Chains A and B, each alone.
Chain A
């Protein structure tokens, strides 16, 4: 069965600092992987996705993620965090439309 683990429930970073959010997955085949962001009271917005090919994928808002098959990981990164990046971030795994989400990581940005 597929599953997603986001080990960090809450992360605090200073504005301008770099960010890495962790995601580990369990899946029987090559997965499709996604990162979503959810601001308070809003729906989920797709940041980026990985299906195949280059293991480093670029997304919107300056985010990128790297697929590492050997570590079953798909970590999200941003070189310099902005105050507006404060939100909940969800990693998801799936294929053929069967998408399952992690529990999320809440990001707080300090001024």
Chain B
């Protein structure tokens, strides 16, 4: 069974440019998460979906970040415009109800 797939693995962009990350969760997993992980820290939740509904986006900087999960499967996280402080690893995860989350490899974003 395929795990959580994220792309791209790495992305380098100039500040003020837009960037998008894509995530394909494990088949059948209704819950999808986007986390941001800064160097030397634990993952911080940005947004959580139950099917196509965003049920927790309280930590998502809505002035520049947006996310969508069309048809309750794949998800895209976008930053526009990117700032230097957005450099981090962006992790996608998915889970079943009452299950531990399974993580993708992450996208390492560098904003220069």
Please give the residue numbers on chain A whose beta carbons come within 8 Å of chain B beta carbons, in ascending order: 4, 32, 34, 36, 42-46, 49, 51, 90, 92, 97-104
Contact = CB atoms under 8 A, between A and B. Distances in A.
B77 to A, nearest CB: 15
Contacts of A42: 105
Given A43-B91, A90-B42, A90-B43, A99 B103 contact: no
Chain B contact-residue range equals 20 to 34
Contact of A104 (B42, B50, B103, B104): B42
Complex A-B, nearest 6 residue pairs according to Cβ-Cβ distance, in ascending order: A101-B42, A43-B103, A44-B103, A46-B100, A49-B100, A43-B105
A66 B4 CA distance: 28
Main secondary structure of the interface of A (DSSP, over half): strand
Contacts of B102: 46
A58 B91 CA distance: 26
Contacts of A36: 103
B45 A99 contact: yes
B24 interface: no
